[in-house]
Amino acid sequence: MNQLDALKQFTTVVADTGDFKQLAQFQPQDATTNPSLILKAVQKPEYAPLLTETVAAHRGQPLDVVMDHLLVRFGCEILQTIPGRVSTEVDARLSFDTAATVARARRIMALYEAQGISRERVLIKIASTWEGIEAAAELQREGIRCNLTLLFAFCQAVACGQAKAQLISPFVGRIYDWYKKSAGAAWDEAAMSGANDPGVQSVRAIFSYYKKHGIATEVMGASFRNVGQITALAGCDLLTISPELLAQLAATEAPLSLALNAAAVQAMDLPAVRYVEASFRLALNEDAMATEKLAEGIRAFCADAVKLEVLMQKG
């Protein structure tokens, strides 16, 4: 049995891509997209017609409306290939505006429903800012399920649990990147791999806390840099993995065993924590890595949204 098949015994495997033509070979349950992945996809010849057709069909409408139609078009194509859910992201430029995030999420969901897609098959991705988490709480109450992304800190995970978010996406690789860069020449790759990887440790801490306290929010590790980070999280609720790393897993037959066990955390001493806005902001501010990576991630998604708009204007 290859490692991808072995991983599927413990964890729901999700494909992290806008390249839906690659999906069938890996047979993931779900798929995730973001502005950067859609931008990457539409620049490939095989996907350029989707951009051209969407722009032509909605010519004269505001760019943000055309953008949502394009995201939903990709989402619908993906849903024809997978049995589960697709994650579609709200414009990152709304990350600090609760009301605008809610409105955009409702519009995206309405576009899916107009295509005959039930809301159970769509997760609305929102950055894990305080405003984003508040928006998710409101959307969840309406039956619109949310994937809280750009999650780097424990306080973000706790607040998402309080909001009853459907799912969170803690970013393993970007946490690893920060600590590796911070350590510089002192970084020991071998010593900081597997269970010692700071990104892996972050997800394990969140997973343990959720399972200990019966929090129903699903934990989906994301943003992987290597296969070792993935295998060290076997047993996590879900893992969203790039096609490149999915291919590496499928090509490897090394043994893979359960690394996270929900039953085992019950014996752990993990006191319950609760955040309000002020304590959340302070906790996030105290975490230099999370503060920097959250801001960096939002900036990057905003920049790619602008690039996508430029392509749409040309189309």
We report the CATH number of the domain holding residue 48 as 3.20.20.70
- The model's pLDDT over 220-235, given as tens digits with 9 standing for 90+, comes to 999 999 999 999 999 9
Strand partners, 167: 147, 218
* pTM, rounded to two decimals: 0.97
Identify the pLDDT of residue 67. Answer: 96
Cα 26–chain centre separation: 18
- The model's pLDDT over 145-164, given as tens digits with 9 standing for 90+, comes to 999 999 999 999 999 999 99
- Compute the 3-state secondary structure of the chain and give helix, strand, coil in percent, each to the nearest 5: 55, 10, 30
Q: Which helix (H) or strand (E) element contains residue 291?
A: helix 288-314
- The model's pLDDT over 250-268, given as tens digits with 9 standing for 90+, comes to 999 999 999 999 999 999 9
Residues in Cβ contact with 105 at an 8 Å cutoff, skipping those fewer than 6 apart: 90, 124, 126, 135, 139, 144, 146
Confidence of residue 98 (pLDDT cuts 50, 70, 90): very high
Q: Which of 305, 220, 259, 166 is nearest to 15 (CA)?
A: 220
- Residue among 40, 125, 164, 293 flagged as catalytic: 125
Identify the pLDDT of residue 87. Answer: 98
Instruction: State yes or no: is 181 an active-site residue.
Output: no
CA atoms of 194 and 231, how far apart (whole Å): 8
Identify the pLDDT of residue 141. Answer: 98
Residue 56 has pLDDT above 90, yes or no: yes
Residues in Cβ contact with 225 at an 8 Å cutoff, skipping those fewer than 6 apart: 172, 173, 176, 177
- The model's pLDDT over 22-40, given as tens digits with 9 standing for 90+, comes to 999 999 999 999 989 999 9
Q: Which helix (H) or strand (E) element contains residue 311?
A: helix 288-314
Identify the pLDDT of residue 35. Answer: 85
Average pLDDT, integer, range 121-146 = 98
Confidence of residue 315 (pLDDT cuts 50, 70, 90): confident
> What integer best gives the mean pLDDT of the chain?
97
Domains in the chain, number: 1
Enclosing domain of residue 65: 3-314
